[in-house]
């Protein structure tokens, strides 16, 4: 008598993983790379919260008109002015602060001379208004200066910054509080040195 033939199916062996297709690998690489680039760009361009957001409204030669949001407190404007001071002391390159060279081609430097006005009303930073102020237009000068929230100026090695109207002919009025005045070769105050690195914070 013949023994019955077994029809049992043998158990499957261990499954082998199919390697990813080269196209799938490439697509995954592009996806991960794109995400890393986007994240890196957002990180590098993140707003600097240690200074108020500001914009450069106009620039005429070495004179620059900037504005901060309405209602910005004096202590925040002071931080912005001290950031300009830090740049003047450490690199003297205001390019990262979104300011074009004020003395291009000058052997003494691209920012040998600079005056920055700070307003909290964008209208005062209009190029036409700045042009009228620099031309000495009597209808503009008085209100323009009264509207200043702060200023920073650098000429060769001399710098000055303050809250309020920029002094004229060395005369300081009650509307002005000078924050610092001296040479860019002088040591920076401790609080200015403690600030974080420069990162632009535009509106």
The dihedrals phi and psi of 28, each to the nearest 5 degrees, come to -65, -40
Instruction: Looking at the structure, tell me whether residues 59 and 43 fall in a common domain.
Output: no
Q: Return the pLDDT at 22.
A: 77
Instruction: Looking at the structure, tell me whether residues 59 and 155 fall in a common domain.
Output: yes
Instruction: Looking at the structure, tell me whether residues 36 and 67 fall in a common domain.
Output: no
Instruction: Looking at the structure, tell me whether residues 33 and 129 fall in a common domain.
Output: no
78 in a structural domain: yes
H helical segments located in 45-102 = 74-90
Domain range for 25: 18-47
111 in a structural domain: yes
What pTM was estimated for this model as a whole? 0.72
Number of domains in the chain: 2
Coil/strand/helix, residue 143? helix
8 in a structural domain: no
Instruction: Looking at the structure, tell me whether residues 142 and 89 fall in a common domain.
Output: yes
Q: How many CB atoms lie within 10 A of CB 157?
A: 12
Between helix 127-134 and helix 138-146 the angle, nearest 10°, is: 110
CA distance 82 to 77: 9
Instruction: Looking at the structure, tell me whether residues 34 and 134 fall in a common domain.
Output: no
Q: Return the pLDDT at 71.
A: 92
CA distance 132 to 149: 19
Instruction: Looking at the structure, tell me whether residues 28 and 122 fall in a common domain.
Output: no
Per-residue pLDDT of the chain (203 residues; tens, 9 = 90+): 555 555 556 566 566 566 667 766 666 777 677 656 665 554 444 445 679 999 999 999 999 999 999 999 999 999 999 999 999 999 999 999 999 999 999 998 999 999 999 999 999 999 999 999 999 999 999 999 999 999 999 999 999 999 999 998 778 888 899 999 999 999 998 764 444 444 444 44
Instruction: Looking at the structure, tell me whether residues 186 and 141 fall in a common domain.
Output: yes
Tokens (6 digits) for 65: 């008109």
Instruction: Looking at the structure, tell me whether residues 73 and 138 fall in a common domain.
Output: yes
Instruction: Looking at the structure, tell me whether residues 99 and 25 fall in a common domain.
Output: no
178 in a structural domain: yes
Instruction: Looking at the structure, tell me whether residues 110 and 161 fall in a common domain.
Output: yes
Q: Return the pLDDT at 44.
A: 45
Q: Return the pLDDT at 7.
A: 59
Instruction: Looking at the structure, tell me whether residues 37 and 126 fall in a common domain.
Output: no
159 in a structural domain: yes
């Amino acid at each position: 008598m013949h023994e019955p033939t077994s029809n049992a199916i043998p158990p499957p062996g261990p499954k082998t993983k199919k390697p990813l297709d080269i196209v799938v690998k490439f697509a995954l690489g592009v996806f991960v790379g794109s995400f890393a680039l986007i994240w890196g760009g957002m990180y590098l361009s993140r707003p600097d919260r240690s200074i108020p957001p500001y914009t450069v409204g106009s620039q005429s030669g070495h004179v620059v008109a900037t504005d901060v949001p309405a209602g910005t407190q004096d202590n925040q404007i002071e931080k912005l002015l001290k950031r300009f001071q830090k740049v003047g002391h450490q690199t003297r390159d205001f390019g990262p602060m979104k300011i074009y060279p004020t003395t291009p081609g000058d052997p003494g430097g691209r920012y040998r001379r600079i005056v920055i006005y700070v307003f909290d009303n964008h209208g005062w930073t209009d190029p036409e208004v700045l042009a009228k102020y620099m031309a000495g237009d009597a209808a503009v000068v008085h209100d323009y200066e009264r509207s200043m929230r702060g200023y920073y100026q650098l000429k060769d090695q001399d710098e000055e910054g303050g809250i309020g109207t920029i002094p004229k002919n060395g005369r300081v009025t009650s509307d002005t509080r000078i924050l610092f005045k001296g040479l860019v070769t002088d040591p920076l105050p401790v609080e200015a040195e403690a600030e974080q690195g420069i990162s632009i914070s535009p509106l």
